[in-house]
Amino acid sequence: MYKLIMPKEFVGSVLDLTPEKLQALGIKGIITDLDNTLIEWDRALATPEVEQWLKTMKEAGIRVIIASNNAEDRVKKFAEPLELPYIYRARKPLTGAFKEALSTLHLPVNQVLMLGDQMLTDMMGANRMKIYTMLVKPVANSDGFVTKFNRAIEKRVYKYLDKKGIPTWEEQS
């Protein structure tokens, strides 16, 4: 079970990812979650830092698409000003949105990265598709109702990883 929800890497922030690092991994496209990955779950628009990060990715030829379990109006309000393609009500960890994202990016699985903040949705869905996964530290210390349930389960996973001596972003901070 743990293998299905474990990321390949733990990352402190999306801002820590550079085009050079991604290109070294052979990554040409990013499927990213929105809430608590790019911005806080209760923030509507991108921060200047996230805008610059997205611009840097675009300039490097790395394609980005948002796949969010949130409603269309939430995702659209964030994505449209940045001219980002998006998938709303993605139903992660089901694989449909990941397949749609790969098709939109016009890239094979081995050239795409899933960037998210939740093991039970983002990592599980992407791992089922054999997409390279990176788990980012949530940008906010609070969550929406459904996410609180997922976080409770994740706490148990982090305890297990700590017991096994497997480092996470908790140890990298």
Assigned token pair, 54:
């997205």
Q: Which of 46, 150, 30 is nearest to 11 (CA)?
A: 30
Domains with residue ranges and CATH for the chain: 2-167 (3.40.50.1000)
pLDDT in tens, the chain (173 residues): 578 888 999 999 999 999 999 999 999 999 999 999 999 888 889 999 999 999 999 999 999 999 999 999 999 999 999 999 999 999 999 999 999 999 999 999 999 999 999 988 999 999 999 999 999 998 877 555 666 667 667 777 777 777 877 777 654 44
Could you tell me if residue 85 is left (phi over 0), alpha (psi between -120 and 50 degrees) or otherwise beta? beta
Could you tell me the pTM of the whole model? 0.85
172 by Cβ neighbours in 10 Å (0-12 / 13-18 / 19+) ranks as exposed
pLDDT of residue 80: 97
Number of C-beta neighbours around residue 64 at 10 A: 21
